[in-house]
Homo-oligomer: A and B are copies of this chain.
């Protein structure tokens, strides 16, 4: 197999857009390192790199809402990736919406919610870990995964 020509940034990361193969919705943006990309390709399910925890996580490992890879696409400059997925459980966003982009920014800087909530995050993440104490920890964990600032 030839070497991948992808350009990871100074932190070894590359931005990844996830698009819904069924609806064409943009579901989320996250980052991968080369290992997360390798695991994604090997398993057929998306794995991302968490900058807050310096670890690789499999999307949906808590919620069960995994993403099955349908195709991986590379941009002109080979410095970003777009992946088309089959979204399991009908929601990619940990807030319970299909897409993370469920709010439109208005001229006055307010938000308008443009999507229906599919699940109640409290229910899903409570169920995933079983006890309430763990739930808070788990929700923070998920939130940190998606928060690329930390």
Contacts and interface: CB of A to CB of B under 8 A. Distances in A.
A124 interface: no
Given A111-B74, A149-B7, A101 B82 contact: yes
Interface in A25-40: 25-26, 28-29
B109 A4 contact: yes
A76 B104 contact: no
A19 to B, nearest CB: 5
12 contacts: A1-B109, A7-B149, A17-B17, A28-B75, A72-B105, A73-B102, A73-B114, A74-B101, A75-B93, A76-B93, A80-B100, A82-B101
Q: Which 9 pairs from chain A and chain B are nearest by CB?
A: A24-B24, A73-B101, A75-B100, A82-B101, A72-B105, A29-B80, A77-B147, A2-B109, A7-B149
